[in-house]
Structure 1
């Protein structure tokens, strides 16, 4: 098994969790501050979308304004249209990713337009972003299938991939939004994407709705993917999918697996676990995962480190 020396874990809980659980802005800033203290340097911080559709993220501009800046910090967001992109630019976002859904039904429920209409909007946004200080990419939500439909394959990705390149958008987040992919399916679709864009332009957002997310992590790294999206305590959801599990792969579980595999994340695992326990306890969001319940495996450099258990 050939793995990289290091990967970048991007923390998406500030967007994914709070779009489904409304909390005061102060709580969001405290979460990000704790994660920065734990060594996290890449975030999906919020979404610039219609507040009537996603009221939990109506404070996106304030969150960007109040997050403490440290060296190496990268702050990203989601956007649904040109107006949202302009707001992201004004807020100082480093990156913005358009919410493009591979599932037509969800596309209409989420942003009120079809996938084809979304592509036309993204083309206008690409022209706008070209001479502004922001990197514009796109999600492909439900890339592997879902939320209710059948699985998707690399062949299903081809028309979207060609369309995106035609309009000059070559930075993609492939999201397994419903947790459909076991390692073979994960690798098959990512390999198809890599025929169009280099590994450095591709982020994979791993979800664990069906318990397969952690198994897919190391095979992704073997393919050359170094950018992975995860969510603290596996938290998250979406107001367009009420009552449906929608969290990402647990960040703390991913970090432990990577550390035990010799891959550096730059993240302090005990501090990360403390923050995951704070999020589930103080905010009351549902929490998933393993390592925050059992504690991390101690290294020889950490004798006697106290463990904090959550049951």
Structure 2
């Protein structure tokens, strides 16, 4: 069986869009750790006046459980944020690089090229610290101010990132534009650019209902790192009124398990965490499996066994 690494981004996505207390964030992240989620995007080290809901990032990192089996990660926007992440003991930090020029200028405060220069400086700092630095490419498939984007539109970004030496990428469908065909085209381009799929994470957003179809397409291409959001929660404060939630973690985990992939995640325990998160904290959420219940275990087990036998 192929192991798929799920990275849950709900703590950061929901924390930046909805009021969630520090204690509840810690409970949420610890519940994900207990359920076996192998990577969690805990928060962002960004200016608190811009994203006040994530101003407690350092405290959250200080108080959450630490497990050698779980990578605790964050977003950063500049060198100062990266230093704060290093001080907090973060395992991996992801730079917020926008493929949409208008969004970059209006919400990040600098052009995409200026962001690349900042990332180049940050790469030098990261190389001397015990932290992995990668980059998001947000709006990789287009939006919020641009039309759908083709793979060729990212050729310049790809070349510059390889020049800088940043070879860990998160391709984010931030506006939910990608169909399976679109997802396959851009991800195939990225695989060719990096010489393989092992450094590529794809962040699926489900604002337009294509999330699970895209996950199935991507794992078929050999992508083994997928970003999801517990209970399909989250959003961006600069994109009110537009779809921004990540594809639902528990729905993705069920799909993968039924298709014969492994995740290391306890699905019933994950569903319990999702129900607590959505219902107790009243966070806007999506998803099917937490309402309908998972497919019975015997069915999932037999499908997985059949898959294992066929591929042995």
Give 3-state SS (helix, strand or coil) of 1:199's partner.
Answer: coil
Instruction: State whether structure 2 residue 297 is matched by structure 1 residue 299.
Output: yes
Cα distance change on mapping 1:299 and 1:242 into 2, 3 Å: same
Q: Alignment length, in residue pairs? A: 300
Partner of 2:267: 269
Matches within 5 A, 1:280-295: 280-295=278-293
Q: CA deviation at 1:38?
A: 1.2
- In structure 1, the partner of 2:112 is 115
- 2:305 is aligned to none
Contact 2:103–2:145 at 8 Å: present in 1 too? no
- In structure 1, the residue matched to 2:225 is 227
Name the SS of the counterpart of 2:198 in structure 1: helix
- Provide the rounded CA distance (Å) in 1 between the counterparts of 2:78 and 2:108: 9
Higher helix share: 2
Q: Matches of residues 1-311 of structure 1 in structure 2 within 5 Å?
A: 5-197=2-194, 198-300=196-298
Kindly report structure 1 stretches of 4+ aligned residues shifted beyond 4 Å: none
Partner Cα distance (2:103, 2:89) in 1: 29
Q: Mark the CA change 1:62 to 1:32 in structure 2 (over 3 Å): closer, same or farther.
A: same
Instruction: Determine if contact 2:100/2:145 at 8 Å carries over to the other structure.
Output: no
Partner of 1:306: none
Tell me how far apart the structure 1 counterparts of residues 34 and 166 of structure 2 sit (CA, whole Å).
33
Segments of structure 2 that go 5 or more residues without pairing to the other structure are 302-312
Instruction: Measure how far apart 1:22 and its partner are.
Output: 2.0
TM-aligned CA deviation for residue 54 of structure 1: 0.4
TM-score computed with the length of structure 1 as normaliser: 0.94
Distance of 2:105 and 2:19 partners within structure 1: 23
Question: Matches of 1:231 and 1:269 in 2, distance apart?
Answer: 14
Shift of 1:93: 0.6
Deviations 1:91-123 (A, max 9, x none): 001110100000112112332111111011111
